[in-house]
Amino acid sequence: MKNLKIFLVDDDHMQLNLTVTFIKRVITQKVLVLPFDDLHSAIGEFSYKPDLIVTDYSFGDDTLSTEQFIKFARNKFPDAKIVVMSSNNNAELAVDLIKCGANEFIHKDGKALYKLEWMIKDTLHEINYRNRKSFFKIIKDFFVGLK
């Protein structure tokens, strides 16, 4: 099984460190967590091919919007899960972000990290399923080729 690669993007260093620590404590499988404090830094490391991108919504840098970042990431990594976490609990904003390509919107409240834990575990299950499906297709193709 491959390591899950998670990109965390948040300009609040305390929130970023808290999220990294939480993930490392609750996820028992091997994960590579790459924290970034801005969207441009995350894009600069896209060669790591993230499986899950978790980003804050509001950044002080207005040269790249979160919506633009989501569209770019979705185009580059169609199978990656993209989660936006924000203290803004606006339903219209959540819908707009999902229309841009985000898979989930998590309000930063007392349960946010537990919701993120669920998303990470769900992503791990999907990756394991895709890997098993690929393995069985290879086996099937091998035996079909023997006929």
For the range 93-96, what are the long-range contacts, defined as Cβ-Cβ under 8 Å and sequence gap of 24 or more? 93/57, 96/67
Domain ranges of the chain: 4-145
According to CATH, the superfamily of the domain at 4-145 is Response regulator (3.40.50.2300)
Task: Determine which of 81-85, 104-108, 115-119, 124-128 has the lowest per-residue pLDDT on average.
Answer: 124-128
Q: Is the pLDDT of residue 53 over 80?
A: yes
Q: Is the pLDDT of residue 51 over 70?
A: yes
- What is the model's pLDDT at position 46? 95
Residue pLDDT, tens place only, 126-147: 877 766 666 666 666 666 666 6
Q: Which residue has the higher pLDDT, 134 or 117?
A: 117
